[in-house]
Structure 1
């Protein structure tokens, strides 16, 4: 018995596929821009801060609650050590920029500094903000 009015589909409906593609594109754009901005850290100011313009540098941020991140990726202290060791293996003249929030416990900054010393980081700088109207 044949059902009247029903005919087989000759083409595929791609509207749901296009919708899915646009949603994935929007999610990708949002996640990419969020990763570029990094972690918000309230830096202390320094009167004679120098600019570090190293092309081979990594940024370690310590937020006000003590959480660590390297290049805006949250890590634990042991993960940070492993990441620094692998970076040092590929780039021996690696420069590290430490961005510590002004309200973070001093002990947490010292843990990161000790870790950088233990790994053998050749160049370490601490980020700060310049006071208004100060320095070149």
Structure 2
């Protein structure tokens, strides 16, 4: 084969080693990973499941990562996803806040929880210097029926 191109080891061949990286498979894998993370990110929100009451006048809260105190219908208190005793709550909240006692603390009270329990938790926090409290409600825009007269 006189006219055939020569390979580097002397054998005839038409293919040379490719020195470029094919980025198409890399982009495909990255897009699949992006979609997976976008789908699973909302599922990673941890905490205690509470059924929030609704409010028509609710406003969006500060976009910083909040300190969340949740009270379920049985009166159990959770700081984030961790169950805490009421006696330890103030110290644990202050530990999470550090020096920033002006940071907003979100109170998530189940709509079937005793109102007195929620107020008692808020009172404990306020009495100990944690005064920036926000009550979290469900943002659904369902009509709220007026109270009977």
User: Which consecutive unaligned segments of at least 5 residues does structure 2 have?
Assistant: 1-41, 144-149
TM-score by length of 2: 0.60
Q: CA deviation at 1:35?
A: 7.4
Q: Which residue of 1 aligns with 2:82?
A: 73
User: Which consecutive unaligned segments of at least 5 residues does structure 1 have?
Assistant: 1-32
Larger radius of gyration: 2
TM-score by length of 1: 0.66
Q: Where in structure 2 are the equivalents of 1:1-136 lying within 5 Å?
A: 36-132=45-141
Structure showing the higher helix proportion among its residues: 1
Contact conserved, 1:64 with 1:101, CA < 8 A, in 2? yes
Q: Which residue of 1 aligns with 2:146?
A: none
Structure number with greater CO (CA < 8 Å, separation at least 6) is 1
Say what the alpha-carbon RMSD is for the aligned residues: 2.3
Contact conserved, 2:52 with 2:110, CA < 8 A, in 1? yes
- Deviation per residue, 1:72-95 (Å, 9 max, x gap): 110001111111232344323221
Distance in 1 of aligned mates of 2:100 and 2:64: 11
The number of residues matched between the two structures is 102
